[in-house]
Amino acid sequence: MKNVKVMGTGCANCRRTAALIEQVAAVAGVEIRLEKVEEPRDIMAYGVMSTPGVVVDGEVVHAGGVPAREKVERWFGA
């Protein structure tokens, strides 16, 4: 089970990022708990300045824009 957080104040890119992660994780057969972090205060706590940002198991792995599918696949070892 991986803990995935998508940071962003709720724009279309953030939603696309979350959908992409869910889809890739499902294809890779990895179980995830996906959480959306939308409060600026909580986003800043991770030091993420450009959203959408992605945190996997407490580690910031991506910031600034929708990640490429290949990048997401690497997080889930696909």
Partner 1 sequence: MHDLPIHWPQRSPRLFLGLAALCWAGLYALLIPVSEALVALLPVARDSHAGAALQFFLYDTPKVLLLLTGVVFVMGMVNSYFTPERTRALLAGRREGAANAMAAGLGVVTPFCSCSAVPLFIGFVQAGVPLGVTLSFLIAAPMVNEVALTLLFGLFGWRVALLYLGLGLGVAMVAGWLIGRLGMERYLEDWVREMPRVRATLEAGSPALADRVDAGCHAVREIVGRVWPYILAGIGIGALIHGYVPEDFMAAIMGREAWWSVPLAVIIGVPMYSNAAGVIPIVQALLAKGAALGTVLAFMMSVIALSLPELVILRKVLKIRLIVTFVAVVASGILLVGYVFNSVL
17, 8 Cβ separation under 8 angstroms:
yes
How many angstroms separate the CA atoms of 12 and 14, rounded? 5
Q: Does 21 bind partner 1 (CB under 8 A)?
A: no
Find the distance separating the first CA and the last CA of the chain, reported in whole Å: 15
- Contact region with partner 1 (CB under 8 A), list: 25-33, 38-46, 54-62: 38-46
Residue list 46-65, contact with partner 1 (CB under 8 A): 47-52, 64-65
Binding stretches for partner 1 (CB under 8 A): 7-11, 13-14, 39-41, 43-44, 47-52, 64-66, 68
